[in-house]
Amino acid sequence: MEAPCRPGSGSGREPGSLGGCRAGGGRRWREAAGAWPRTRRRGLAGARQPAAGGGRDRRAGPTWFAAAEAAEAAAAAAAAGSGKLEERLYSVLCCTVCLDLPKASVYQCTNGHLMCAGCFIHLLADARLKEEQATCPNCRCEISKSLCCRNLAVEKAVSELPSECGFCLRQFPRSLLERHQKEECQDRVTQCKYKRIGCPWHGPFHELTVHEAACAHPTKTGSELMEILDGMDQSHRKEMQLYNSIFSLLSFEKIGYTEVQFRPYRTDDFITRLYYETPRFTVLNQTWVLKARVNDSERNPNLSCKRTLSFQLLLKSKVTAPLECSFLLLKGPYDDVRISPVIYHFVFTNESNETDYVPLPIIDSVECNKLLAAKNINLRLFLFQIQK
Binding site for Zn ion (CB under 5 A): 95, 97-98, 109, 111, 113, 116, 119, 136, 138-139, 165, 167-168, 185, 192, 194, 199, 201, 215
Q: Is 320 helix (H, G, I), strand (E, B) or coil?
A: coil
For Zn ion, the closer CB: 138 or 261: 138
Strands 254-266 and 274-277: antiparallel
For Zn ion, the closer CB: 52 or 343: 52
Other Cβ atoms closer than 10 A to 225: 14
CA distances from 176 to 22, 68, 100, 158, 276 (A): 24, 9, 18, 12, 42
Q: How far is the CB of 67 from Zn ion (least distance, A)?
A: 11
Q: How far is the CB of 108 from Zn ion (least distance, A)?
A: 8
For Zn ion, the closer CB: 196 or 345: 196
The rounded distance, in Å, linking the Cα atoms of 204 and 185 is 9
Q: How far is the CB of 188 from Zn ion (least distance, A)?
A: 6
In DSSP notation, 136-179 reads -TTT--B--TTT-EE-HHHHHHHHHSEEE-TTT--EEEHHHHHH
For Zn ion, the closer CB: 101 or 290: 101
DSSP code for 259: E
Q: How far is the CB of 46 from Zn ion (least distance, A)?
A: 12
Q: How far is the CB of 295 from Zn ion (least distance, A)?
A: 22
For Zn ion, the closer CB: 197 or 358: 197
CA distances from 66 to 35, 289, 297, 383 (A): 32, 60, 55, 56
The rounded distance, in Å, linking the Cα atoms of 248 and 153 is 51
For Zn ion, the closer CB: 111 or 282: 111
Closest by Cα among 339, 296, 325, 53 to 169: 53
The residues that bridge with 252 in the sheet, in sequence order, are none
Q: What angle do CA 347, 315, 351 make, to 5 degrees?
A: 60
The residues that bridge with 362 in the sheet, in sequence order, are 339
Q: How far is the CB of 160 from Zn ion (least distance, A)?
A: 18
The rounded distance, in Å, linking the Cα atoms of 62 and 39 is 27
Q: How far is the CB of 58 from Zn ion (least distance, A)?
A: 12
Would you say the C-alpha torsion 126, 130, 131, 133 has a positive or negative sign?
negative
Q: How far is the CB of 248 from Zn ion (least distance, A)?
A: 38
Q: How far is the CB of 319 from Zn ion (least distance, A)?
A: 50
The rounded distance, in Å, linking the Cα atoms of 382 and 313 is 11
For Zn ion, the closer CB: 116 or 373: 116
For Zn ion, the closer CB: 9 or 286: 9
Other Cβ atoms closer than 10 A to 128: 20
For Zn ion, the closer CB: 191 or 317: 191
